[in-house]
Amino acid sequence: MCGIFAYTGQNGKDAAKVLLDGLVSLEYRGYDSAGIFTPESGVIKTPGAVAELRKRVPKKYSGKSGIAHLRWATHGEPTKVNAHPHGSGAIWLVHNGIIENFKELKKKLVTKGHAFVSDSDTEILAHLIEEHLKRERSFEKATLKALKEVRGTYGVAIQYKGEPEKLIAARMGSPIVLGIGKGEHFIASDPSPILKHTKKVLFLNDGEVAVLTPKSHTVYKLSKEIVHRMPEELDWSAEEAQKGGYEHFMLKEIMEAPEVVVNTLRGRLIPEKGMAKLGGLEAVAKELANIERIIIVACGTAYYAGLIGEYMLEEFAGIPVEVELGSEFRYRSPVLNQRTAVIAISQSGETLDTLEAVREGKRKGALTLGIVNAVGSTIARETDAGVYNHAGPEIGVASTKAFVSQLIALALFTIFLGRQREMSVKTGREIAKELKALPKKLEKVLAGRKEFEKFAKKYKNARDFLFIGRKYNNPVAFEGALKLKEISYIHAEGYGAGEMKHGPIAMIDKDFPTFAIATKDSVYEKNVSNIHELKARKGPVIVLATEGDKEIAKLADDVVYVPKTLEMLSPILNVVPLQLFAYYFAKGKGLNPDRPRNLAKSVTVE
């Protein structure tokens, strides 16, 4: 995600102070490294967040204008050298997003004599603008030329030492908002650092570029055509601005699911060949072709993602998979060898039990891999290779968007390993095609979110809740129950629908509702039978069904519809309604879903 903040003014304010104060309200967007640049005092960067940066900024550091950044790493470790701002000659910039064609651009620039100091994709853009500046002799023209060559996403703020009062902002896929003050202008990735200076803001659209001086602001399209759009007045608090206008981070993060799918997939599918290109696995591709067994280790939500991964990998890659809780794996005596791959799944990359499971795997000679969201985290560093989720920081304690990205990463793993083995091009293509279709389908699911507010009200007095599902959606039932219990503190259980008769159905009566996942798949009929059994015991049932399934509505007390997709990918659509249900249920009880009692975001103790 990353946080960007830039300032230019003529009111005698010290840009360094404005920027450092503003960065604090962006800290939720990234906190692995930070940096600041003013044309007068130069650049200062550090690993860590704003407090670290403040310690390094000397008292005499100042400026009338400047740019600043908080990083959430995507390419390159969270080190000082990879922190933003990045510069080349007189050009300095801060960036949020991913420049996809950075390798080919870098190659070209190297032949022109450019030397790079970091692994960051961002540094390429600074060099590219500088290269164009040699010929164009105009900061604006050089920037436009460079932006047209770039593929990928960006929200950027750029500064040129030759015109220190001027800032350029541009947006393609990553948010940028301008603050319009009196004798001063701001650029930020959300309005939170701007609001204490001015309520007047202008949101850039994709493909727009803005040129700001203390007195003027002009917005262009990349085609140079001028955009006439009036600023709007925002009456948000800084906290509302951080949440993008949503009431809680949890809801904002659930709503980010379509974008997260795009980001986790970006550059990793070759749909026409039915292949997945996972740069992080290239170095171990040979070992992976020879592994005979996979053990997935994880905790909590990540463990449930692992259970779904087991189904995917066994069905489509034909590799035997076991899924283990990190907390169990480390204390028993697992039998592993060099033909075993241990895959750790972790949002934070710091969960101690998962980390210790990785270490146990290493000790026993297994190949260790990570599916991790936090770049440069301990699990990412200690595994032999891996795939980053690129879901952006997850602030809500209950994991939502990270789970979606973990499933996407597991689907990519499945294509990668499957195509090394028996998976046909046709199957690879089918999965790739459906993966690409998911963001639109997720948008549809999310558009119906108000329904869940109604259900939460209707079932608000329930003291217990059961979640059932089969096959790929059995772990989704576990995850639905976990979400509900962790933020609303009521008893919720996830069960395999087929297990009901072996005990749990004894609990069912008119006061014990069930959320049944019964989308159209290979176990649909079986699920319908289980719903009949619940209804025969007068248990209220909410059914999660596939669009168009009118029959199931006759059986259920309430129905939630989701679009059709491949069975192996159905958990990605099916989990979102369960996340929304838990969210609105907790909210309806007057609880804060972002701050569940007794829980920490990252569990770094046993």
Q: Which residues bind ligand F6R (CB under 6 A)?
A: 299-302, 346-348, 351, 354, 398-399, 482, 486, 602-603
Q: Quote the CA–CA distance of 36 and 68 in Å, as a whole number.
A: 4
Closest CB 38 distance from ligand F6R, rounded Å:
37
3-state SS, 276-339, equals ECCHHHHHHHHHHHHCCEEEEEECHHHHHHHHHHHHHHHHHHCCCEEEEEHHHHCCCCCCCCCC
For ligand F6R, the closer of residues 139 and 478 by Cβ is: 478
Closest CB 581 distance from ligand F6R, rounded Å:
14
For ligand F6R, the closer of residues 294 and 391 by Cβ is: 391
What is the DSSP code string of 210-234? EEE-SS-EEEEETTSPEE----EE-
In 3D, which of 322, 305, 321 has the Cα closest to residue 313?
321
Closest CB 530 distance from ligand F6R, rounded Å:
26
Active site residues: 2, 601
Closest CB 22 distance from ligand F6R, rounded Å:
29
In 3D, which of 71, 74, 67 has the Cα closest to residue 38?
67
Q: In degrees rounded to 5, what are phi and psi of residue 269? A: -115, 140
For ligand F6R, the closer of residues 205 and 604 by Cβ is: 604
Q: Quote the CA–CA distance of 95 and 320 in Å, as a whole number.
A: 42
Closest CB 107 distance from ligand F6R, rounded Å:
36
User: CA angle, corner 375, sides to 369 and 381, nearest 5?
Assistant: 45
In 3D, which of 517, 545, 73 has the Cα closest to residue 304?
517
- Taking CB atoms, the residue at the shortest distance from ligand F6R is 300
Q: Quote the CA–CA distance of 448 and 292 in Å, as a whole number.
A: 43
Contact 37, 66 (CB under 8 A): yes
- Kindly give the pairing relationship between strand 3-9 and strand 184-188: antiparallel
How far, in Å, are 105, 152, 267, 390 from residue 101 at the CA level? 6, 7, 9, 17
Q: Quote the CA–CA distance of 575 and 483 in Å, as a whole number.
A: 10
Quote the DSSP letter at residue 117.
-
For ligand F6R, the closer of residues 257 and 523 by Cβ is: 257
Closest CB 575 distance from ligand F6R, rounded Å:
11
For ligand F6R, the closer of residues 167 and 576 by Cβ is: 576
For ligand F6R, the closer of residues 263 and 579 by Cβ is: 579
Cβ neighbours around 85 below 10 Å, total: 28
- Kindly give the pairing relationship between strand 514-517 and strand 464-469: parallel
For ligand F6R, the closer of residues 150 and 580 by Cβ is: 580
Q: Quote the CA–CA distance of 167 and 154 in Å, as a whole number.
A: 16
For ligand F6R, the closer of residues 154 and 581 by Cβ is: 581
Quote the DSSP letter at residue 173.
B
Closest CB 583 distance from ligand F6R, rounded Å:
12
Contact 470, 526 (CB under 8 A): yes
Closest CB 20 distance from ligand F6R, rounded Å:
29
